[in-house]
Amino acid sequence: MGGFVATWQPLFDLICIHCILAYSQYVALRAGLFSLATAGFASVGGYAGAYLLKTLHWDPVVSGFAAILAGVAAGLFLSLPLARLRGAFQAIATIGFVQIMVSLTLYAAPFTGGALGLNGIPKVATTIPLIVVLALTIVLLTTINRTGIGRAFDAIRQDYTVAGSLGISIATYFRYAFALSGGLGALGGCLLGFNTYSVQPEVFGFPLLVSSIAAVILGGRASVAGPAVGTIFLMALPEIARPLADERLLVQGVLLIAVIIYLPQGIVDSLLQRYRSVKTRRLSTVAQSRAQEGPYGFPSA
Amino acid sequence: MDFLRLEKLTKRFGGLEAVGELTIAFKRGHITGLIGPNGAGKTTVVNMITGIIVPTNGDIWLGARSLTRIQPYEAARLGIARTFQNVRLLTEASVLDNIVIGFHRHQKSSLLANSIGLPAVWREKRDFRARAHALIERFGMSELADRAAGALSYGHRRLVEVIRALALAPSFLLLDEPCAGMNDVESRNLGLIIRELAKEGVGIVLVEHNMRFVMEFCEHIFVVDSGRLIAEGGPQAVRNDANVIRAYLGN
């Protein structure tokens, strides 16, 4: 039993952290933002947290909160120009942001340690704190989905002209989504540093950008369970099927293509949709026969 | 707030004048028609009133409040609701959810309260759902409340869009070709609904091609051609106006 825990605990920790990063990406997509800035936010949070904890010897919890605030600030800052852009332009601009963060952390050596990064960070983000933080994140996102914010996000994502005509301020909700995505991304980056002893520029580069969006597409973009399932798939599969581990990127690519073809809504959302359509088909035959003639005489299809 | 007035409203797209110095007014509690041949600039007018297009010149007034350079969401918050020429529902969402989103204008809880789910937020949600159910029931759609909006028949989808606009509790409702694609029975039923709404005090602005419908339900009609007002008056007067006949039938 002890051997089992020792073997799988590091993987479990990483899955928790990458779940949070996937949620940062998820929030953006949910709101109809084509932001790919998660890796950049993670860089902000990773370095801010590590600097405060290791160099300034702040309390870990305070450092973590400060890292989140830095991410929220970065998100709000990005939203100033980007809340007015749409689609592909947002995507390109946010990729630029990720690249800028990689360069910044390379050149600002006095604070960031340059290419070597910051090393010897105390391991404060152990399994129990990680589980607690992830649980809080899930509660937060579930709440948002079920309240007015989720409604507004859904409307904006599906048709922003309609959303505007119903009184939803798109710029406000884009700013909010950027701030939340920034906070969660920074939290994930910070936890990564607090768990793996070090932060380096390339850890927060293009591969992290790809893996966080892959987790969301693989798992599902609508339900909160989606990104978590996607992350588990992406991270655990190569470990369980050991021979696949060397071909991690290949496995990731094949998985993504297969899911996009066969489960275009992602694993969780596609399965939920299938379950719901079976249920409504059973109910709708009854409803339809009763609704043939409403009081205003609209015949149903 | 009783009048929606356009004063010398003008919109030019490059060299093309879509709407030119249009001065008209709509009144609450009445059904006013805005008609004209294809390309007359009717939808441009609707888009300017709802803040989607910024006018080149001129002003839009809702009572004493200027709407000339506002964002679409601000127009909605001031009580101007609209439907679209091609029905635009959230097709993935249920009929009920489509209508609940129409209540966004009435949301009082803050973003922060919604993020952490304070009790007031859930009360508000229950309230919106109850009011949405009441609206759906009023239009006889209760059986379809849980269906995905995209799965409904065309007439039903039109009706859902109108109900969603009503959820805003608008002072003015702009209907952009509500009868397009409807048969006579369906459009007549829609006419009866909007007549009822006008009686309740909503100002109805009806942009429509279906002449029979316009003549039957509008109390006052503005006719535009190439962005300019060419005639106005009651259905009879407009029908017999020489300018109108020329615009529709040619010389």
* Model ipTM value: 0.90
In contact, A219 and A25? CB cutoff 8 Å = no
> pLDDT tens digits for A229-246?
999 988 887 777 777 777
State whether B71 and A169 contact (CB < 8 Å): yes
Do both B218 and B145 map to the same domain?
no
Closest residue by Cα to residue B180 from B161, B201, B165: B161
What DSSP element (H or E) covers A285? helix A267-290
Where in chain A are the domains?
2-267
Q: Average pLDDT of B156-168? A: 94
State the Cα–Cα distance between residues A177 and A182, nearest whole angstrom: 8
Residues 58-77 of B with CB under 8 A from A: 71-73, 75-77
User: Domain A2-267 carries which CATH code?
Assistant: 1.10.3470
In contact, B31 and B194? CB cutoff 8 Å = yes
pLDDT at A290: 43
pLDDT at B250 over 80: no
pTM of the predicted model as reported, rounded to 2 decimal places: 0.89
> pLDDT tens digits for B112-140?
999 999 999 999 999 999 999 999 999 88
pLDDT at A299: 39
CA angle A254, A257, A258 (to 5 degrees): 85
Phi, psi for residue A135 in degrees, rounded to 5? -60, -45
Domain boundary among B144, B169, B194: B169
Q: B111: domain range?
A: 90-169
Do both B39 and B70 map to the same domain?
yes
Residues 135-154 of A with CB under 8 A from B: 140, 143-144, 146-149, 151-152, 154
B196 in contact with A at a CB cutoff of 8 Å? no
> pLDDT tens digits for B217-235?
999 999 999 999 999 999 9
Do both B178 and B155 map to the same domain?
no
pLDDT at A145: 93
| CA terminus-to-terminus distance, chain A | 60
Q: Is residue B187 part of a domain?
A: yes
Model confidence at A281, pLDDT cuts 50, 70, 90, reads low
Residue of chain B nearest A292, judged by CA positions? B143
Total count of domains within chain B: 2
Q: Average pLDDT of A242-268? A: 82
Do both B190 and B244 map to the same domain?
yes
pLDDT at B1: 64
B189 in contact with A at a CB cutoff of 8 Å? yes
Domain boundary among B135, B169, B203: B169
Residue of chain A nearest B97, judged by CA positions? A151
pLDDT at A237: 79
Q: Nearest by CB to B72, which of A164, A176, A288?
A: A164
Q: Is residue B15 part of a domain?
A: yes
In contact, B176 and B85? CB cutoff 8 Å = yes
State the Cα–Cα distance between residues A80 and A62, nearest whole angstrom: 27
Domain boundary among B169, B198, B213: B169
Do both B199 and B249 map to the same domain?
yes
pLDDT at A298 over 50: no
pLDDT at A294 over 50: no
Q: Is residue B85 part of a domain?
A: no
pLDDT at B96 over 80: yes
State the Cα–Cα distance between residues B247 and B251, nearest whole angstrom: 8
